Amino acid sequence: MLSHRNLVANLLSLAEVQPLSYRDRVLSTLPLHHALEFIGGLMVPLLAGATITYLDGINSREMLRA
């Protein structure tokens, strides 16, 4: 089980390695219940104020549309 402390540590570490700003846009492709997507695709962009785009389905047509 991941603890709150562990999630925050992962968030802060990833934010150092992959800094984002409010001007950035992130395309979310994995389900949010996946730990990597939760931290890298939701929490890091939220911390930076970046825009997050979610797909209706995972296929090339949806990715190009987004």
> Taking the CB of residue 48, how many other CB atoms lie within 10 A of it?
17
Q: For the segment 36-50, what is each residue's pLDDT rounded down to a tens digit?
A: 899 999 999 999 999
pLDDT above 90 (res 61): no
Q: What is the pTM of this model?
A: 0.82
pLDDT above 90 (res 8): yes
Predicted local confidence at residue 39, as pLDDT: 93
CB-CB contact of 53 with 26 (8 Å): yes
Q: What pLDDT band is residue 51 in, cutting at 50, 70 and 90? A: very high
Average pLDDT, the chain: 91
